[in-house]
Amino acid sequence: MVEGSDRRRSVRGADHSDPIQLSRRAAVRDHPVNQLRRSDLSAYANIAFQSDKGRGFESAQFNFAPEDLTYVATHYIDLDHEQRVTASAGASYLWRDTRFSSDLLFGSGLRASLTLPDGTTIPNGTHLPYYTQVNAGVSHLFHLPGAGTLTTRFDVINVFDRQYQIRNGTGVGVGAPQFGPRRGYFFGISKSV
């Protein structure tokens, strides 16, 4: 667990080229689960919990509405890149030089501004819906006599074509909506040297 105060951290994390600065308090817990590895089967799982708050813009105030500046000057807010829970898991199985693999990604949703019934806005006062993404792949290793090996692979990203927003364009430091990847098919060939 990391706890502390860093008065010059960027709203977007470790990228110090970002001009938006806030005072910050952070608490992060990361719980990796040891990998399971047998001769033909391997698996992993990871989960992380995060809480990251900031108060008072230290730079780039011209980017924000006066009411947001006033609110953030007197209240701690959740930072835009904060996602309370992030998890991943995966497994692969090797059968006769063919490897089958799959992984799962889960996120509890990044921050967004909350508009109250009276019309006031709390910067980063809510979060987007959770999302999951499942990926799968298969690869095969061909043994070429006197020429080494050749590996072919086929991967499907976002198998179920789940549509989800990573950001909705609201919140501190967020200028445009962003979406997770749509279903994609990828082929590859590699040759040992």
DSSP at 70: H
Query: Of 150, 155, 159, whose CA–CA distance to 187 is shortest?
Result: 155
pLDDT recorded at residue 25: 54
**Residues forming beta bridges with residue 13, ordered by sequence position:** 10
Q: Model-level pTM?
A: 0.73
Say how far apart CA 153 and CA 53 lie, in whole Å. 42
Say how far apart CA 74 and CA 70 lie, in whole Å. 7
pLDDT recorded at residue 79: 85
Q: pLDDT tens digits, the chain, 193 residues: what are they?
A: 333 333 333 333 444 444 444 445 555 555 555 555 567 999 999 999 998 888 988 877 888 888 888 899 999 999 888 889 999 999 999 999 999 999 999 999 999 999 999 988 898 999 999 999 999 999 999 999 999 999 999 999 999 999 999 989 888 877 789 999 999 999 999 999 8
Say how far apart CA 115 and CA 82 lie, in whole Å. 19
Domain coordinates in residue numbering, the chain = 2-191
Say how far apart CA 166 and CA 168 lie, in whole Å. 7
Write down the residue that tokens 């199985």 correspond to: 93
Query: Of 136, 153, 154, 138, whose CA–CA distance to 191 is shortest?
Result: 153
